[in-house]
Amino acid sequence: MNLTNRDQKHLWHPLTQHKTTQDALGIVKANGVYLFDEFGNKYIDAISSWYTCVYGHCHPHMVQKVTEQVSSLDQIVFAGFTHPPAVEMSEKLMEILPKNQQKIFFSDNGSTTVDIAIKMSLQYHFNQGKKKLKIIAFQDAFHGDTFGAMSVSGLDVYNGPFSDVVLKVDRISVPNQENIDRVVCDFKNILATNEVACFVFEPLVQGANCMKMHEAKYLDVLIALAQEQDVVCVADEVMTGFGKTGMYFASDRLKYKPDIMCLSKALTGGMVPMGLTTCTQKIYDAFYADEIAKGFFHGHTYSANPIACSAAIASIELLQSKEIQDGIQRIEKGHQEFVLKLKNHSNISEIRTLGVILAIDLKLNIDRYGKDRNEILNHFMSKGIFLRPLGNTLYIVPPYVIKEEELLMIYNTMKEFIDAL
């Protein structure tokens, strides 16, 4: 029996309707930009395994750091203890975070970083004796699958059965040149209730919403308005963080910096899970008091796991390296040229890029996870490329170490596919 058959006996996969889905393929090895299946085929990981393995799989620097850590300190309670990887990681992260971020809170994945951000925002006001319970988020946002994160997410495909039990959230459209006046008006009306605790957003790119992009200058308008009223601005950089938009963080492109940031995915270069919610000194200070109850009583067993922290240190070191920065620039340039080449293609309704993210909306009407979409996925797999279309959107977020010829191979395969539609 191969892995596919053995898998079916006990395993339940994420985002999957098992009755209609196709078999899960067994991947037995990953190296650099390549995934290897159990039958000896290889595929370029064109989405960096959900935007985590941005330095390629099993990068020697990551492997070395993590291996060293595994044999010296594996896991320790982070309440009452601290350890070198956590401290070093905090120092390293401070080198690249927007300067207003001063404190770091640990968890295990992207969703929990958002739940924590929401709880921090609510308690920030509560600790000051203010009753602020409203949360503002964008339409069609995606922030994860735990209850808080799901509440601020606006994509029905994930939330349907839970819509009556999630937190109440006021939703606004993502601002653009056409709607900015209306969005500002809607936003101001909600702010005027004086009950808003926080504004949660994916800065510049809505990942799960088919990589839809918006301009920093419009988001800046909203952040400035919110911050005038001490509404906590939460940038969910789980997807955009660590180089995806061409800078360390999408927030680097903003004039008004968020009060809280959510980080995960590429934080550990895909080696082990970890999430971080970072905040300003001002937020932290609202919890710093003689009353014990004003502390933040939230904690995950694996908080600041030393192995995960060591992976994060290695990952940030790589991100700062010339090799990786050159790689990001090479991809950005490649994407921009490809966009120019395809932008008037008759089978494309929109093509967009920011940093290493490239998304193409095809003139097709297909379900997000339906059969037609699977056929597209299979087509690219048969050509040696792993990408996961979201409905009619083809998108890639390649590892920063991808070579020019590999990138060209992806572009050519995409173009051939689009030409033939």
Question: Contacts from 83-86 at CB under 8 Å and sequence distance 24+?
Answer: 83/304, 83/306, 83/309, 84/306, 85/304, 85/306, 85/307, 85/309, 85/310, 85/313, 86/304, 86/306, 86/309
Q: What residues numbered 197-226 form the site for ligand PLP, per CB under 6 A?
A: 202, 207-208
Is the separation of the CB atoms in 347 and 362 below 8 Å? yes
Q: Based on CB atoms, which residue is closest to ligand PLP, 97 or 117? A: 117
Contact 168, 185 (CB under 8 A): no
Which residue lies nearer to ligand PLP by CB, 112 or 413?
112
In the complex, least distance from residue 130 CB atom to ligand PLP, rounded to whole angstroms: 27
Q: What would the x/- binding string for ligand PLP be over residues 127 to 146, using CB under 6 A?
A: ---------------xxx--
Tell me which of 45, 140, 236, 361 binds ligand PLP, using CB under 6 A.
236
- CB of 51 within 8 A of CB of 244? yes
Q: Shortest Cβ distance from residue 262 to ligand PLP (Å)?
A: 7
Smallest gap from residue 250 Cβ to ligand PLP (A): 10
When CB distances to ligand PLP are compared, the closest residue is 110
Smaller CB separation from ligand PLP, 109 or 151: 109
Q: Judged by CB under 6 A, which stretch of 5-13, 122-130, 231-239, 399-407 contacts ligand PLP?
A: 231-239
- Tell me which stretch binds ligand PLP (CB under 6 A): 91-99, 108-116, 286-294, 336-344: 108-116
Count of other CB atoms within 10 angstroms of residue 101: 25
Q: What is the dihedral of CA 263, 265, 268, 270, to 10 degrees?
A: 180
Q: Which long-range contacts (CB under 8 A, 24 or more apart) does 227-230 make?
A: 227/256, 227/259, 229/191, 229/194, 229/196
Closest contact distance (angstroms) between CB of 111 and ligand PLP is 3
Binding track, positions 288-327, relative to ligand PLP; x by CB under 6 A: ----------------------------------------
Among 48, 69, 101, 109, binds ligand PLP (CB under 6 A): 109
Q: For ligand PLP, give the closer residue by CB, 234 or 283.
A: 234
State the minimum distance, in angstroms, from the CB of residue 145 to ligand PLP: 6
Q: What is the DSSP letter of 85?
A: H
Q: Is 55 helix (H, G, I), strand (E, B) or coil?
A: coil
Q: What is the dihedral of CA 111, 263, 338, 359, to 10 degrees?
A: 20
For ligand PLP, the closer of residues 55 and 142 by Cβ is 142
Q: Indicate the residue among 236 and 332 with the shorter CB distance to ligand PLP.
A: 236
User: Does residue 269 interact with ligand PLP by CB under 6 A?
Assistant: no
Report CA-CA distances (Å) from 94 to 82, 112, 287: 18, 21, 21
- Beta-carbon neighbour count of residue 381 at 10 Å? 16
206, exposed or middle or buried, with CB in 10 Å at 0-12, 13-18, 19+? Answer: buried
CB closer to ligand PLP, 166 vs 184: 166
Positions 359 through 388 that interact with ligand PLP (CB under 6 A): none
With CA atoms as reference, report the closest residue to 166 among 185, 182, 147: 147
Among 54, 136, 239, 385, binds ligand PLP (CB under 6 A): 239
Residue 270 backbone zone (phi > 0: left; psi -120 to 50: alpha; other: beta): left
- Using the contact rule CB under 6 A, the part of the chain among 3-11, 33-41, 235-243, 369-377 near ligand PLP is 235-243
Per CB under 6 A, residues contacting ligand PLP are: 109-111, 114, 142-144, 202, 207-208, 236, 238-239, 264
